Amino acid sequence: MAENRMWDFVREHPELKTPYYLLDGERLLKNMERIKSVREKSGAKSVLALKCFSTWAVFPLMNQYMDGTTSSSLNEAQLGHEKFGKETHAYSVAWSEEEVREVRKFATKIIFNSVAQLDNFYDIAKGIPVGLRVNPGVSYSHHTLSDPARKYSRLGATDRKEIESVVGKISGVMFHVNCENDDFDAFSKILDAIGEKYGWLLEKLEWVTLGGGIYFTKDGYPLDKFCEKLKVFSEKHSIQVYLEPGESSITRAGYLVTKVLDIVHNEIDVAVVDAAANVHMPDLVTYQEQAKMELPVNGPDATYEYQIAGRTCLAGDIFGTYKFPATLRVGDLIPIADAAGYTIVQKTWFNGVPMPSIVIKRLDGRVEVVRTFNYSEYVSSLS
């Protein structure tokens, strides 16, 4: 949907009870086609990062374009195996022995975060491709909270002698060092640094995953340069490259549709909606960011300013401040943009606020409510 049509869409479907997450099949397909293009031009495979997006109702579309899934836990790995199929990469910051025995039954690759864990569980894991996460000491992140190479980071092996000691046990490595990186030059420098520092290791292996956090599906991103960079890296080290797109797989494909319940004035006008930033888009509060809004918000004719706030008791439950082309009224619908990644997988029942339904606009135009939540599910989440 074009930006200005989204506002028409929500008004044309008053039967959809708010709040709800809306996944747009057309926009999702656009991302999938870009991912497919990267594979064709560079040879790099893409596995969906389930920690970002696990809404399996759209997996039948996504698995036509992607090579499988990657996970951060046993549960995610099993979900990827059962609902997505194809390759199932299983990674965890720390595995228990019981989890390794279980994930070993269906994973196509298992990746350990430390040399100690790899050594401890190798006899269980061997027989399928085994990998090790390596921390190269370089990264891209706007926040220390999400910087994989931050000081004292536990994410990945750092000692060369330790890494050398397990080279005979592994067939691949993971370098997950990017977070919200839409800067191709920055990505290019990081990849060069990895190649220079770990070329000796890569030449002994079959595959390398560069993790997620690379916004290569963003409009305007230099895809041709990106593909060429990946291709040269792969050929130089004779290695299969994997990408783990999370946000990049669902960029601009999801919305959180809300309804204005009240408008209060305290020096500024505040519109209170029936959703909540801290429970339905928690990264906004965690990283102190503003939710994205598309036209007609903040357009050339937008002059009426409102802070959009959620309905929980948390004072900082705020989506952001925006200008609208007309005054807001109770009952108005507001679609919050780019609301698929790290939202549905993190939503909570804080304050007992209703859980958003999950709605999909299919490629054939059908609008399908694939999941709703009720009081009994709120109660069953507690004890």
Q: Are strands 20-24 and 357-361 parallel, antiparallel or unpaired?
A: parallel
Q: Within a domain: residue 34?
A: no
325 shares a domain with 238: no
Confidence (pLDDT) at 38 = 98
How many domains is the chain partitioned into structurally?
A: 2
Decide which of 208, 223, 250 is a domain's last residue: 250
Decide which of 233, 250, 267 is a domain's last residue: 250
Asked if the model's pLDDT at residue 223 lies above 60, the reply is yes
Q: Within a domain: residue 264?
A: yes
Mean pLDDT of 21-34: 98
Confidence (pLDDT) at 297 = 84
Confidence (pLDDT) at 5 = 84
Domain containing 270 equals 3-24+253-380
Cis peptide before 325 (omega within 30 of 0): no
Which tokens in the block code for residue 301? Answer: 């004719």
Confidence (pLDDT) at 358 = 98
- Give dist(CA 363, CA 53) in Å, integer: 19
264 shares a domain with 116: no
Mean pLDDT of 275-302: 92
145 shares a domain with 17: no
- SS3 of the chain: the string is CCHHHHHHHHHHCCCCCCCEEEEEHHHHHHHHHHHHHHHHHHCCEEEEECCCCCCHHHHHHHCCCCCEEEECCHHHHHHHHHHHCCEEEEECCCCCHHHHHHHCCCCCEEEECCHHHHHHHHHHHCCCCEEEEECCCCCECCCHHHCCCCCCCCCCECCHHHHHHCHHHCCEEECCCECCECCHHHHHHHHHHHHHHHHHHHCCCCEEECCCCECCCCCCCCHHHHHHHHHHHHHHHCCEEEECCCHHHHCCCEEEEEEEEEEEEECEEEEEECCCHHHHCCHHHHCCCCCECCCCCCCCCCCEEEEEECCCCCCCCEEEEEEECCCCCCCCEEEEECCCCCCCCCCCCHHHCCCCEEEEECCCCCEEEEECCCHHHHHHCCC
Decide which of 191, 225, 250 is a domain's last residue: 250
297 shares a domain with 172: no
209 shares a domain with 106: yes
- Which has more confidence, 30 or 5? 30
Q: Chain-wide mean pLDDT for the chain? A: 96
Confidence (pLDDT) at 3 = 60
Amino acid found at 94: A
CATH code of residue 62: 3.20.20.10
Asked if the model's pLDDT at residue 75 lies above 90, the reply is yes
Are 261 and 272 contacting, i.e. CB atoms less than 8 angstroms apart?
A: yes
Confidence (pLDDT) at 2 = 53
Q: Within a domain: residue 31?
A: no
Per-residue pLDDT of 80-132, as tens digits, reads 999 999 999 999 999 999 999 999 999 999 999 999 999 999 999 999 999 99
Q: Within a domain: residue 38?
A: no
Per-residue pLDDT of 167-217, as tens digits, reads 999 999 999 999 999 999 999 999 999 999 999 999 999 999 999 999 999
Asked if the model's pLDDT at residue 1 lies above 60, the reply is no
365 shares a domain with 305: yes
Per-residue pLDDT of 291-339, as tens digits, reads 999 988 877 888 999 999 999 999 999 999 999 999 999 999 999 999 9
Q: Within a domain: residue 177?
A: yes
99 shares a domain with 54: yes
135 shares a domain with 234: yes
Q: Within a domain: residue 35?
A: no
316 shares a domain with 303: yes
Confidence (pLDDT) at 299 = 79
Confidence (pLDDT) at 300 = 81
Q: Within a domain: residue 37?
A: no
Asked if the model's pLDDT at residue 284 lies above 90, the reply is yes
- Give dist(CA 300, CA 288) in Å, integer: 26
Contacts of 236 (CB under 8 A, 6+ apart): 195, 199
Are 282 and 346 contacting, i.e. CB atoms less than 8 angstroms apart?
A: yes
220 shares a domain with 268: no
Burial label for 73, CB within 10 Å (0-12, 13-18, 19+), is middle
CATH code of residue 303: 2.40.37.10
91 shares a domain with 238: yes
184 shares a domain with 226: yes
Mean pLDDT of 55-76: 98
Q: Within a domain: residue 32?
A: no
Per-residue pLDDT of 134-149, as tens digits, reads 999 999 999 999 999 9
